[in-house]
Structure 1
Amino acid sequence: MKIQVANEHLERLYKDVFDQVYPLIVNQKNGVLYKVIHILLESEQSKSKADELCTRFGIKDDASLEDDRDYIDFLIPQPKLFLHPFNDNLLQNVINPDMVKIAWIVIIACILVGVAVCIQYIRKPKQEPTGNARNQKPDSLQVLPPEPITAALCLVVPASVIIDLKDKHPNGFTDNRLETSDLKTLIDNASYFLCTDVNKANSKEQFLEIMPNEDIPTNSNREVYIIIHINQGQEMIDKESPYILKRNLPNYGQRIIQQYACLRNLSGLENFNRI
């Protein structure tokens, strides 16, 4: 079970890295593995580490996709077996064969630089490109930021966590509003989660067996379903990692509990992310 949980965390980590790196290398024709390693080790202090890593393993800045793909076979015997869960979940709907190759290359780069570097990379705020790297547009053509969206964060947590949070506040959850620290506590203790828009959350909820009229037991690990609406939470929507959710949690706006109730069972959670 511990190995399975660790694999699931690695799978989410690699997917988060892929989501952030892919737009930077989508048009890269040669030296993709070389480029990804340097992106992950992107600070000035780490550039020498990236150069040393590429030199040590013979990773070239002009290698073709096929050369990089052959390198994966050299480094990891039977890579499809070794990386089977990630490959299935990330690439099951991918048709473009070059994107498949790039995904494998990103995975191997993650393995070479290490988990700690990957976590640091996805947590680091990304800066807008400057100078020639940015496609300049007249002010009249600048793309407006997207409209704020209310995110619906759906969590399944032990009943004891809900009770502890209620006990923390003498009057319970005042107006059903949550502090940032309380919301992070709920995320940290969730066994299942889903963050989407309000309409999709309502449709997913139809498949759950919720018991709204049942009191939450004080000394029990019964599973409790809780849904929180987060104002201006568009950066959290569709994220599949707890630490990405917490990182993208807005510092402003409201976090309001819509409901919380015991679940009769775990049916209907197939489309949720499991921790």
Structure 2
Amino acid sequence: MRIKIQVANEHLETLYKDVWELVYPQVANENKGVLYKVIHILLEAEKSTADDICTATGINKNAALNDDERIAGDQLLMEKPNTFDHYFKQNWLNQKMTKLNHPNNPDMQTVVWLVFIGSLLVGVFACIQYRNNRKQNLRGNARNRQPDSLPSPPPEPITAALCLVVPASVIIDLRDKRPNSFTDNSLEFSDLKTLIDNASYFLCTDVENAASKELVLEMATNEDIPTNSNREVYIRIDINQGQEMIDKESPYILKRNLPNYGQRIIQKYACLRNLSGLENFNRI
């Protein structure tokens, strides 16, 4: 039995080392929300699962390093003693620390360790899937790369304008729950998904096109949104790095392509006098 456990641990060590090599460069200079970023990197195709893990463990996208380190310590206490994690931390990670140099991040050692803890939290299957996908992508890129050609620059991020028509009661409930969101004009990720779920009409396009579509809407911009009302409210949220959402015609795909990071700014919201001008919107 001891031999089997040792073999299993060796396989796990190799897996977590491989994942660490892939993920650490993406967060090496971060000093806020490291665990949150690591988990969402590893679960890049399963954002809702990543959100659930973070909610269940108290991981916050704006958490300081010492808060992440406290959560990491709590997770280790739940691990069985004498497993490979002690060796992993005391030996391999310490060896890595002697070779790494990031002068802009004095808390580098904490970041190094948090990447490993994030891997533990998502689990073995997710790590295997992430490692295999990354290696497959790297092999594919190598085959398709032309010799002596310069790499193509990444596409410029595009701000998406998400235009929704929702019941007044949804806006009132959201504003009562998070008044700061409407004061600061910045929405939480989960609140934006709630708005999408309750929309009767929607359109996701670029900022310029959204502004032109608004011109034909009849909005009561000087009226307060009434409580306990069935009035329809138009709300527009600008989402930076939202290029994957533009021109999508399904609420499910909108939510799936909603970026986890970046700003979600409320640009405008007001009651509609009628439904005129919504002909170019998608109706649910």
TM-score, L = length of structure 1? 0.51
Choose from 233, 236, 260 the match for 2:269. Answer: 260
What residue number does 1:67 align with?
Answer: none
For 2:282 and 2:138, the matched residues in 1 are separated by 33
What residue number does 1:232 align with?
Answer: 241
Cα distance, 1:231 vs. partner?
1.0
Q: Which amino acid aligns with 1:219?
A: N
Cα distance, 1:145 vs. partner?
2.0
What residue number does 1:244 align with?
Answer: 253
Query: Does the alignment pair 1:179 with 2:203?
Result: no
Structure 2 unmatched ranges of 5 or more: 1-132
| Identity of matched residues, % | 83
For 1:246 and 1:208, the matched residues in 2 are separated by 25
User: 2:216 aligns to what SS in structure 1?
Assistant: coil
* Residues 87-129 of structure 1: per-residue CA shift (max 9 Å, x gap): xxxxxxxxxxxxxxxxxxxxxxxxxxxxxxxxxxxxxx99749
Query: Does the alignment pair 1:269 with 2:260?
Result: no
What residue number does 1:56 align with?
Answer: none
User: 1:137 aligns to what SS in structure 2?
Assistant: coil
Q: Which amino acid aligns with 2:171?
A: I
Choose from 145, 165, 180 the match for 2:174. Answer: 165
* Residues 113-156 of structure 1: per-residue CA shift (max 9 Å, x gap): xxxxxxxxxxxx99749459953224634322210111100000
Cα distance, 1:166 vs. partner?
0.5
Cα distance, 1:175 vs. partner?
0.7
* Shift in CA distance, 161/138, structure 1 to aligned 2, threshold 3 Å: farther
Bigger-Rg structure (1/2): 2
For 2:179 and 2:213, the matched residues in 1 are separated by 33
Q: Which amino acid aligns with 2:241?
A: Q
Q: Which amino acid aligns with 2:277?
A: G
Structure 1 unmatched ranges of 5 or more: 1-124
* Shift in CA distance, 245/134, structure 1 to aligned 2, threshold 3 Å: farther
* Residues 192-216 of structure 1: per-residue CA shift (max 9 Å, x gap): 0000110000011111111100111
* Residues 57-103 of structure 1: per-residue CA shift (max 9 Å, x gap): xxxxxxxxxxxxxxxxxxxxxxxxxxxxxxxxxxxxxxxxxxxxxxx
Query: Does the alignment pair 1:206 with 2:223?
Result: no
TM-score, L = length of structure 2? 0.49
User: What number of residue pairs does the alignment pair up?
Assistant: 151
* Shift in CA distance, 135/227, structure 1 to aligned 2, threshold 3 Å: same
Q: Which amino acid aligns with 2:244?
A: E
* Residues 224-248 of structure 1: per-residue CA shift (max 9 Å, x gap): 0000010111111111111111111
For 1:226 and 1:150, the matched residues in 2 are separated by 16
* Shift in CA distance, 225/131, structure 1 to aligned 2, threshold 3 Å: closer
Q: Which moved more, 1:128-137 or 1:204-213?
A: 128-137
For 2:145 and 2:214, the matched residues in 1 are separated by 44
* Shift in CA distance, 132/171, structure 1 to aligned 2, threshold 3 Å: closer
For 2:274 and 2:143, the matched residues in 1 are separated by 51
Q: Which moved more, 1:158-167 or 1:168-177?
A: 168-177
Q: Which amino acid aligns with 1:227?
A: R
For 1:183 and 1:252, the matched residues in 2 are separated by 13
